[in-house]
Each structure stands twice: as structure tokens, then as C-alpha cells.
Amino acid sequence: MGLGAAKAAQDAGAAVVIAGTSQEKAERIASGSGPEVTGRFVDVTKPESIRILISGLESLDHLFFTAAPAKSGAFRELRIEDARRYLEGHFWGS
């Protein structure tokens, strides 16, 4: 879903940053996506990591957030700690 949104934004003329917890993976995906796409590291569970990512941007017009910062799975099978981390990551990370 995130890659599709990035490609649609690029097709519309946007400069796109793909960010994730693996710098190498983000760069690899970005390099195969076109000249206006860059890859960066971010850990959405750490406020300082988010500040570093945002401070390196010239501007930010749109944010498309698809991170899943914890284990996910069938709701009835998740440990409460995993569900809490997942929900907190989505809420505070975005």
C-alpha cells in the first residue's frame, strides 16, 4: 500500500521520501522508483528519530503512514503488550 501511494505521488509530480526502519531497504526501494524518490531511516516509536527525519526535509506537504511498529496478527491471538505497542506506534508515530 505504501509503495503504491509513493508511486502515485511521484506520478503526480511529487518528490517522495520512503522511510522505514531499514535504511538499506528504503534506499533499495527508492532507487527502483525513480529520480525524485529517496530512502531514509526512521523509527516511528522514537520521537528523536522522527525529528531527525523531518528536520532533513525541505518541506512536507503530505504524510502517508503505513508503519506497523510491532507484531500484528489475529486480534484474539495478540498479547496485550503487542497490541498496545502497535496502537501506540500508529497513534504517536503519525
C-alpha cell at 21: 526502519
Domain containing 44 — which CATH number? 3.40.50.720
Tell whether pTM > 0.95: no
- Residue by residue, pLDDT tens for the chain (94 residues) are 778 888 888 889 888 999 988 889 989 988 888 888 899 999 888 889 989 999 988 888 888 877 766 666 777 888 888 888 777 777 776 6
Task: Count how many domains the chain has.
Answer: 1
Q: Where are the alpha helices (DSSP H) in the chain?
A: 2-11, 23-31, 47-55, 80-93
- What is the CA 12 to chain-centroid distance, rounded? 20
CA dihedral (4, 10, 11, 14) positive or negative: positive
Q: What is the pLDDT of residue 69?
A: 65
Domain membership of residue 10 as a residue range: 2-93
